Structure 1
Amino acid sequence: MLLIHPIGVGLSSRFWDRFIRCWQASDDTTTLLAPDLLGCGVHEHPNQQLAPEDWAAPLVDLLRDQTNTPTVLVSQGASLPIALAVAKSAPELVAGLVAISPPSWRILEEPFPQTQSQWIWRLLFQGPIGFWFYRYARRRAFLKSFSVNNLFANNKDVDDEWLDTLEQEAANMSTRWATFSFLAGFWRRNWISQWQKINQPVWLLFGQEATGIGRSKQWDDAQERIQTYAQQMPTAVSASIHGRNVLPYESTSECVSQLQRWLLHPSNPSNNHSISH
């Protein structure tokens, strides 16, 4: 499996550390690839805009070098378009697609004006405002507040391991370019046609307390999101577990067990829209 981590302040392949430990405790035969995306972790990138195709290209190269056989892509949150870009570039290397905490259907359907993305990039992120914003955003107090308000269902799950990792990974200021590319919206376009035409098996995992990131009356709630995906992608298998927006970290064992179950029976209708407590 290829694990595609989310993009944000301090986020890197280490997002999957807890998931990998839990997975390998019950299955030491599956190969788990968890690379740093371009501009994240140890994979530095200069001051340059990044789109899903830019993040996908090195992943395709990795798959060709490491396995050159069909692989299950596992995306977290808004890294889903990166998985879709990999599937479009090298469909022969994709055996299935897993979307954990996928974005709301509205986000995937409504393109973000590229002129606005360019404006945000040039005026906010390329200058001193962006530099000082990133220094502020990588402070432990901010990381904890953001995680509590936007990512985790239970405040107690925002632990030292999570915060220490984010602080360490955000220490390198060059990682801000990947984060800024994401925040500027270069990944935002209409992905629906490609998403609905995926030929490989698709598995969706939702948090029962899932929310949008930030504050907006336009965000859908968890049940609305689940129902929308069921209507729009009737052939996909889905499940929901306790948690909010970072299920591989906050609800690790449930996330692992549900995914392992699906991998054993990827086309079993009885798994569709199941609820695990």
Structure 2
Amino acid sequence: MAHGGNPVFNGKNFRGATQAPPAPQAYGQNSYGQPQYGQAQYGQAQTGWNPAQQGMTQNQLQDMYNRPAAGPADTGRMTFDDVIMKTAACLVAVVAGAAVTLVVAEGLAYMLMIVGALGGFVLALVNTFKKQPSPALILAYAALEGLFLGGLTRILDAIYPGVGLQAVIGTLSVFAVTLVLFKSGKVRATPKAMRFFMIAMIGYAVFALINMVMMWTGAVDSPFGLRTSVEIFGIPLGVFIGLLAIGLAAFSLIMDFTSIEAGVRAGAPQRFSWTAAFGLTVTLVWLYVEIIRLLAILRGSD
């Protein structure tokens, strides 16, 4: 299973995948699906296949044999449909949270944005290190992130009209293209790509930390810190950093898809579809933030 891109999946490996209940078997079949033909256990008399003694008619017995084999959903295992439905629920929570900060008074919206940023960060850590997924905590995380994204969008959209809609379209486009490339097999989370990803992620994290400290201490007074105060050939540094970050987020989606596919194939318990949905939500939130920030930097340099 791929690791590294989204820490949500790291260390979990969908624990409990082997704990999913076995597929139900028709009466009178052993663990290999072969009829027992009235075989008696040691010290017991053979009873044979007498439908009357088993309390079943011949038609009922035949109907049981004719039923299709139990699928993953019937045996409590994770399926792609489960992941899709739970991811959709998380995204609805994100949209609902964003709608709140978009319609309330401006001062309250900013306060809710801060609450969403801090609360979302805390719940992200809780859900990441929690061994068993909690649907309530995951949905709460999504709603808090919605508050943060709604407030951020409101601020930037007031300065650069239309940037919010452009960021939504950009996020959906990157997600769709990444999914198509993954399904086609053209892009995979190979060990070599993973190593490059980890190196790039560490570099990006160091830059983000330095930039944040310099903004807090007043070392730079640019709205985006070093991203806009430093230029390379007349192009803001934030453009290059933003493109790198979007590429990293897109590859993180590839690793999310890989982890989900591995979980389904391993027969992971159905509850881990919430873990998969949470992982995708984390990555999509990150992707949206990077896209709207890049768009704002590009619009500000016009």
Shared fold (TM-score, shorter chain, > 0.5): no
Larger Rg: 2
TM-score class normalised by the smaller sequence: under 0.3
Higher strand residue share: 1
Higher helix residue share: 2
Report the TM-score, using the length of structure 2 for normalisation: 0.23
Report the TM-score, using the length of structure 1 for normalisation: 0.25
